[in-house]
Structure 1
Amino acid sequence: MDRLRATHHEVAAHGRSSGLDLLKGEGLPDALRAAEVVVDTIDAPSFDAKAVPFFRKTTANLLRAAEQAGVGHIVLLSIVGIDRVPDVDYYNAKVLQEVLVQEGPIPYSIVRATQFMEFIDKIVEWTSDSDSVRLPTTRLQPIAVGEVVDTLADVVTGPPFNGTLSVAGPDVFPLDELGRLTLQAHHDRRSVVPDESAGLFAAVPPDAIIAPAGAMIGRIHYTDWVA
């Protein structure tokens, strides 16, 4: 937001604290009044099958209200590789969200990002106990949130391209190695145990969620970021 304001764009952030509830459709007319571009970064409250009706309802409400408000560009933040992971409910829900935007009435741009660096700590804790952390060797290509935000700012200030742009960090790691780097940075003495059945990423094929050909590659390395 600061970057957009620095270039003399008017920006407003909306959520429940401002009276906006996409699931109920409340607050949308006020939030979208005079808006030229809308950026949808909403996340579902769970990673299970409940994410499907959540994204279906919130996206439908947003598109309907945006069309009525005369919005000319919808920008959706999504995830790299979600169409290559059929066994993860949350990714299937994000695919549905993309399809609704693609088939909707408003010109759109979809920005797919790889896993945020800021989320690796949480991933590590999903399958941990007091002695160890169990992680699969699924390959991730983490990107800093700030670089995703910069990409969104570029897309927001340009014309809709009615397609998908992928962004990713510069390095690929097996998730178990990311876990070791993260624990080491936190001076955490727990060991990381490779376990191909541990956590959500166990259902992800080996290279499904790393950068595809043509992706924009960031400059911030995870080893520098986590240090």
Structure 2
Amino acid sequence: MKIAVIGGTGLIGSRVVGILNAGGHEAVPHSTSTGVDLLSGRGLPGALADVDVVVNLTKPRTFDDASPAFFRRTMDNLLAAADAAGVGHAVILSIVGADLVPDLVFYRAKVLQEDILRAGPVPYSIVRSTQFFEFVDTVLSWTSDERTVRLPTTLLQPMAADDVARAVADVSVGVPLRGTLDVAGPEVFALDELGRITLAARGDHRAVVTDDRAGMYAAASGDALIAKESAVIAGTTYRQWLARHAG
């Protein structure tokens, strides 16, 4: 099976390409660095020639008010090119609970991306994942200073990028879902608790201060970002991942 992975050089994309090629498929990574630009459409016809599946893992540079326009333009360009090339399956990666946090513009933009895919001409699958373990340090940096890290008690169910990539790869080589698959980590944490675990593992002695107004995730309430019963639960725990990434 020939699979074009747009955004195939990034955190998830590079892993997806590796998994697919190890499984005997022909997965080709594409990005602006290889001459494929979803915003302009440049390079798409060549990237999708004779392709069975296209996986779109691109994201905007920032998570601000420009996000909806980014996803509208890139999805319109991708679906038009995929339809013209006769691609039989389009896959995107979205966010568990994106539709339950309307106060975050980036989450609204991801819902828009999903809606455009559903309404498009190409059979599709949507994989929704929870937050990546690899992004936790970035989340802590948003509301930190030299002495403290302020974090809300928002509930998260994070997972390893390797497990996200495996889910995307498995869906990509299957029959189009014409729906959504949720994937999540095996544990639920309050974000302030997750911060304390992370800092301790890093040997970082800053204090975590619980502040339910701090950072982007303060906009999520209750179990909005927690996977529901139908989700596929990955096996890697956060402490297992931390032990492998202690540096």
TM-score range, shorter chain: over 0.9
User: Percent same amino acid at aligned positions?
Assistant: 54
1:226 Cα deviation (Å)? 1.2
Name the amino acid aligned to 1:51.
S
Tell me the equivalent position of 1:36. Answer: 52
Name the amino acid aligned to 2:111.
V
Tell me the equivalent position of 1:220. Answer: 236
Name the amino acid aligned to 1:193.
V
| Matching of residue 131 in structure 1 with residue 159 in structure 2 | no
The residue correspondences of 1:6-17 to structure 2 (distance < 5 A) are 6-17=22-33
Q: 2:190 aligns with which of 155, 174, 183?
A: 174
CA shift digits 1:162-213 (9 cap, x unpaired): 0000000000000001111111111001000000111100111121011112
Q: 1:119 aligns with which of 125, 128, 135?
A: 135
Q: RMSD of the alignment, in Å?
A: 0.8
Classify the secondary structure of the residue corresponding to 1:74.
Answer: strand
Tell me the equivalent position of 2:3. Answer: none
Tell me the equivalent position of 1:77. Answer: 93
| Matching of residue 26 in structure 1 with residue 48 in structure 2 | no
Aligned length: 227
Tell me the equivalent position of 2:115. Answer: 99
Name the amino acid aligned to 1:11.
A
Tell me the equivalent position of 1:188. Answer: 204
Tell me the equivalent position of 2:4. Answer: none
Which consecutive aligned stretches of 4+ in structure 1 deviate over 6 angstroms post-superposition? none
Q: TM-score, normalised by structure 2?
A: 0.90
The answer to which of 217-226 and 97-106 deviates more is: 217-226
CA shift digits 1:46-90 (9 cap, x unpaired): 111110101110111100111111100001100000010111100
Name the amino acid aligned to 1:12.
V
Tell me the equivalent position of 2:171. Answer: 155
Name the amino acid aligned to 1:99.
D
Name the amino acid aligned to 1:161.
L
Q: 2:158 aligns with which of 142, 146, 151?
A: 142
Q: 1:53 aligns with which of 47, 61, 69?
A: 69
Contiguous gaps of at least 5 residues in structure 1: none
Counterparts of 1:3 and 1:26 in 2: how far apart (Å)?
Answer: 27
Classify the secondary structure of the residue corresponding to 2:26.
Answer: coil
1:145 Cα deviation (Å)? 0.7
Classify the secondary structure of the residue corresponding to 1:26.
Answer: coil
Counterparts of 1:138 and 1:206 in 2: how far apart (Å)?
Answer: 7
